[in-house]
């Protein structure tokens, strides 16, 4: 019998103190170019995967998690030891889903991001060169 835990997606922060597991990914994955995601990641854009809360588990290191809530009510969690960007929650998130930084996954996935969002806030030095749908703000 196949060990089902092998099918789980696993992720971790840069220092390895925090580890998590995702048992099922939700379909929407986008590259977000908003200025807050850019600063949070220190990168041209962020890419978040989404999971239902019941399918997302912190495996270790939760005491290292710190969170920052911005003026618009969005909350982001990161590792207080290494600074890795880990999760995002909008102000309207009622706790039923978790958005996590796709780049912190250690397990390969078959799913691919399908859109660029908040393109109106894109870094001027970054040029989008793929064919994915571009939204000025959030998905319609």
Contacts of 60 (CB under 8 A, 6+ apart): 17, 18, 19
CA 74 to chain centre: 13
The length of the chain in residues reads 140
Report the residue number, 79 or 89, with the smaller CB distance to Zn ion. 79
Residue 56 CB, shortest distance to Zn ion, in Å, is: 18
Rounded CA separation 105/31 (Å): 15
Residue 134 CB, shortest distance to Zn ion, in Å, is: 14
CB 7 within 8 A of CB 108: no
Report the residue number, 2 or 92, with the smaller CB distance to Zn ion. 92
Report the residue number, 56 or 78, with the smaller CB distance to Zn ion. 78
Residue 97 CB, shortest distance to Zn ion, in Å, is: 15
Q: Which residues are at the interface with Zn ion (CB under 5 A)?
A: 13, 15, 17, 32, 34, 37, 79, 81-82
């Amino acid at each position: 019998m196949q060990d089902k835990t092998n099918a789980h997606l696993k992720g971790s922060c840069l220092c390895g103190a925090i580890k998590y597991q995702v048992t099922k990914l939700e379909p929407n994955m986008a590259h977000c170019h908003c200025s807050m995601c850019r600063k949070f990641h220190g990168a041209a854009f962020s890419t978040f995967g989404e999971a239902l809360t019941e399918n997302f588990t912190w495996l270790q290191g939760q005491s290292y998690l710190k969170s920052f809530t911005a003026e618009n009510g969005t909350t982001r969690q990161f590792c207080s030891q290494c600074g890795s960007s880990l999760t995002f929650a909008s102000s309207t998130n009622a706790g039923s889903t978790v958005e996590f930084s796709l780049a912190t996954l250690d397990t390969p996935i078959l799913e691919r991001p399908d859109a660029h969002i908040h393109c109106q806030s894109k870094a001027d030095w970054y040029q989008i060169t793929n064919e994915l749908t571009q939204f000025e703000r959030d998905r319609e």
